[in-house]
Structure 1
Amino acid sequence: MTETTTPTTARATVPATVPALAARATGVGASPVREILALTARPEVISFAGGLPAPELFDAAGLRAAYDAVLREAPRQALQYSTTEGDPSLRAAVAARLAARGLPTDADDLLVTGGSQQGLSLLATALLEPGDTVLVEDPTYLAALQVFGFTGARVVAVPTDDDGVLPEALDALVAAERPKLLYLIPTFQNPTGRTLPAERRAAVAEIAARRGLWVVEDDPYGELRYSGEPVPWISSYPGAEDRTVLLGSFSKIMAPGLRLGWLRAPGALRRACVIAKQAADLHTSTVDQAAAARYFADADLDAHLATVRAAYRDRRDALLAGFPAALPAGSDWNRPDGGMFLWVRLPAGHDATALLRTAVTHDVAFVPGAPFFAGDPDPATLRMSFVTHTPDEIAEGLRRLTRSFG
């Protein structure tokens, strides 16, 4: 008997659809500021959009010397894995600086992070469940809204005025909404540049203690003061000690490319953030931490900051001096004592988002204010950063902005 075989026909296969992205990845939009920066990356554009420190003021020589020293003297340690909590010398230097400014701090109170932005993400991971309520200033920092959005938290805006959150409104919202945390930038706020007065800080601490909530106090701009007297951190007020997290950054006082920051938090929460950081990146760059610690030890950071403050003060004043001629009649703006931003409100009927499209054709840019609002946006507002450009460049940028109102 002859055995026969029947040829088989290969089955045509259709690839299955890949699983969908997580809801949090599709429900949170990109940062309008980052997208505007990409849009205006052309060198001919004078941009008031990004909060970019002036690169010509970076102490590149001092930082290079710090890197050279750690790589020459301890390369095996500087290039090795490190602890999650951070370089002990760097934490000690930050703690000493905080103590000198009126907030007693030990090195063990601190966790080094990949910029203060990572600190905020770690806190959100450690504290927030989907559906938890977070209170924010209105308007507030865009990237904070992104962080809270990724956790699935419900964000509620606290009414504000030119000085920041209104304590009575905050107290009523905490009672009604039972939030997990309140997020604030009390000093030279992004985007408005305003500073929360001392009496309101004390009220925030009292409300947090009486009602029971965490306060996240973000302070990337506090050392960029050009006038007026420093205001104590909320963390320093009675009642706030065990429920306030202070976030800080090296981006504005050294260089943003270092991507170094820190958080100061009560022990249990700090430990939870350490575990969250282990899951995120194990630890922040060892060599960058070592170089920053060496910079603190060898360089005169206060002298460097004095130079930066003087330049930024001149740039703030140049922008303020040019506003009356550049902006439409009926516009108003603030005069912050420090930081990097001014807040402008155009007359009723103006739309800053539409104006930006015209402004870019004149090679000038800013950030519309609407995306910063967690509540109802004000389309007539815009944020102007004054630190990146010289006074002469600022004057030219304002002339271009004037033509945009056509």
Structure 2
Amino acid sequence: MTVTQLPPDATAPAATPPLAARIRSIGGSPVRDILAVTARPEVINFAGGLPAPELFDAAGIAAAYRAVLAETPAQALQYSTTEGEPALRAALAARTCAHGLATAPDDLLITTGSQQALSLLATALLEPGDTVLVESPCYLAALQVFGMAGARVVAVPGDEHGLDPAALEDLVVRERPTFLYTVPTFQNPTGRTLPAARRAAVAEVAARRGLWIVEDDPYGELRFEGERQPWIAALPGAEDRTVLLGSFSKVMAPGLRLGWLRAPAELRRACVVAKQAADLHTPTVNQLAAARYLADSDLDAHIRRVAGVYAAHRDAMLAGLPAALPEGSTWTRPEGGMFLWARLPDGYDTTALLPEVVRHDVAYVPGAPFHPGEPDRATLRLCFVTQTPDEIAEGLRRLAAGLRA
């Protein structure tokens, strides 16, 4: 009998297949990585984008859940339609109409946070190699979504007021992008707001050049001062080509994971198909509880209370920044939202400085990851809503010491 000799390694287990290239190339979220490093309770953390938990209307939300589970438990605990619960879509449509944009319940798709809406839009609109235009700096998680879709991300030039519509039109002609992504009100990370005239000009560019606009508005209701700006989606020329994203995360509670997408019919139907493949539907009980909360509670009064507190926090941070940052630094003065953006003088690298700053028990987010192109390494984002004014003052004293060190 002949015995076949196997190579020495023939019985060794084979290597597992590699992860997808899109995962290997994108990596994680710098903000979440920083939050993990700075989770010590003694750290005053200006890095997160977390709403102040003491301002959650826990009693009102709990009452809404109790009512839903007591009165309609079979519905609340059952599967739902992908589009979302009719009661919630009707309530959101009414709120959207009240803010100046005619909207029917069927115009809306309920999503698991507005972050999911970005993923659905990327699935519905983007092919690998397509171009997406964004602001610079830009919301980090949007850059992740577009990168994982294989898109080429190009920044639209702008200034302290936001993107430049003339530069936008030049890029649309040259790059032939699929869509523009923008957070025009209290932008993350800068806190800036695009003026009304520029919004109208963006709508005109989209109409003239055949461009989709994805308008993300998670912060718009958190206004402290100034006049509310119209949604781009409500402006002439943009009605049939703008997707408006909204969320309860910043005005009710992020743990609900409730967002929505308002889009023209064909694109909305495509997003419904993408959502069916992703998670079938957003949790029914959360949707019904949110609808019940809107029916039984005064969300607008709650938002006014939250905005009043956040305004005091912003003022505390603005008051302490001149002493905390090196001479020659600049920063934004947001009229609402959760963030401000600072730039240190040339030569500073906020990524390299962060470990020393954290040793002083304070943290920020370096600005470099927010830039889709060449980063400005002297920039940083500060969140002012989670700490009290006294904690903000102490945190800025620590920040000054860390930067000096």
TM-score grouping bracket, smaller chain normalisation: over 0.9
Cα distance in 2 between the residues matched to 1:169 and 1:296: 41
Q: Match of 1:24, as an amino acid?
A: R
| Number of the residue aligned with 2:46 | 48
Question: Which residue of 2 is the match for residue 397 of structure 1?
Answer: 395
Matched AA of 1:148: F
Q: In the alignment, which residue of structure 1 is the partner of 2:357?
A: 359
Match of residue 83 from structure 1: 81
Say which SS state the counterpart of residue 95 (structure 1) adopts: helix
Q: Could you tell me which residue of structure 1 aligns to residue 233 of structure 2?
A: 235
SS for the counterpart of 2:153 is: strand
Provide the rounded CA distance (Å) in 2 between the counterparts of 1:192 and 1:68.
39
Letter of the 2:140 partner, please give it: L
| Amino acid in structure 2 at the alignment position of 1:74 | T
Quick one: distance in 2 between partners of 1:252 and 1:316? 16
Q: Check 1:378–1:6 CA distance in 2 against 1; reply closer, same or farther (3 A cut).
A: closer
Once residues 349 and 24 of structure 1 are traced to their aligned partners in structure 2, the CA distance between those partners, rounded to angstroms, is: 33
- 1:25: how far off? 1.2
The equivalent residue for 1:216 is: 214
Aligned amino acid, residue 99 of structure 1? C
Taking only the aligned residue pairs, the percentage that are identical comes to 73
SS of the aligned residue for 1:405 comes to helix
**Quick one: which of 30, 33, 55 aligns to 1:32?**
30
State the alpha-carbon separation in 1 of the partners of residues 4 and 226 from structure 2. 86
- Structure 2 counterparts to residues 342-381 of structure 1, below 5 A: 342-381=340-379
Cα drift, residue 336 of structure 1:
0.8
Q: Give the structure 2 partner of residue 262 of structure 1.
A: 260
**Structure 1: which amino acid aligns with 2:88?**
L
Structure 1 position 36, deviation (Å):
0.4
Question: Partner residue of 2:330?
Answer: 332
Specify the SS of the correspondent of 1:399.
helix
Q: What SS does the corresponding residue of 1:112 show, helix, strand or coil? A: strand
Structure 2 stretches of 5 or more lacking a match? none
The separation in 2 between residues aligned to 1:55 and 1:193, in whole angstroms, is: 21
Q: Alpha-carbon deviations, 1:108-160, whole Å to 9, x = none? A: 00000000000010000000000000000010000000000011010001001
Per-residue deviation, 1:16: 1.8
The higher radius of gyration belongs to: 1
Tell me, yes or no, if structure 1 residue 185 matches structure 2 residue 162.
Answer: no
Structure 1 partner of 2:106 = 108
Which residue of the partner structure matches residue 130 of structure 1? 128
Paired residue for 1:290? 288
Equivalent residues in 2 for 1:239-254, closer than 5 Å? 239-254=237-252
Residues 196-236 of structure 1 show CA distances to partners (whole Å, capped at 9, x for unaligned) of: 01111111111111111110000000000000000000001
Take 2:3 and 2:271, find their aligned partners in 1: how far apart are those partners?
Answer: 62
2:310 is aligned to 312
**Secondary structure, aligned partner of 1:152:** coil
Deviations 1:150-196 (A, max 9, x none): 11010001001001000111110000000000000000000000000
Q: Distance in 1 between matches of 2:274 and 2:2?
A: 60
1:374-394 deviations in Å (ceiling 9; x for gaps)? 121110000000000000000
Cα distance in 1 between the residues matched to 2:197 and 2:379: 27
Instruction: Please give the secondary structure, in 1, of the residue aligned with 2:138.
Output: coil
- TM-score calculated relative to the size of structure 2: 0.97
Structure 2 CA distance, aligned partners of 1:245 and 1:268?
Answer: 12
Matching residue of 2:170: 172
Residue 237 of structure 1 aligns to which amino acid in structure 2? L
Structure 1 residue 405: Cα displacement? 1.8
Within 2, Cα distance between the matches of 1:6 and 1:372? 66
Instruction: Provide the rounded CA distance (Å) in 1 between the counterparts of 2:197 and 2:300.
Output: 28
- Please state whether the residue corresponding to 2:345 is helix, strand or coil: coil
How far, CA to CA, are the matches of 2:327 and 2:3 in structure 1?
Answer: 85
SS at match of 1:227: coil
Unaligned runs of 5+ in 1: none
Instruction: Find the aligned partners of 1:38 and 1:265 in 2 and give their Cα distance.
Output: 36
Q: What is the CA distance between 1:6 and its match in structure 2?
A: 9.3
- The alpha-carbon deviation at position 7 of structure 1 amounts to 9.4
Distance of 2:190 and 2:403 partners within structure 1:
22
One-letter amino acid of the structure 1 residue matched with residue 113 of structure 2: G
Q: Distance in 2 between matches of 1:7 and 1:134?
A: 61
In structure 2, distance between residues paired with 1:359 and 1:67: 42
Most deviating of 310-319 and 19-28: 19-28
Q: In 2, Cα distance between the equivalents of 1:290 and 1:9?
A: 67
User: What is the deviation of 1:34?
Assistant: 0.7
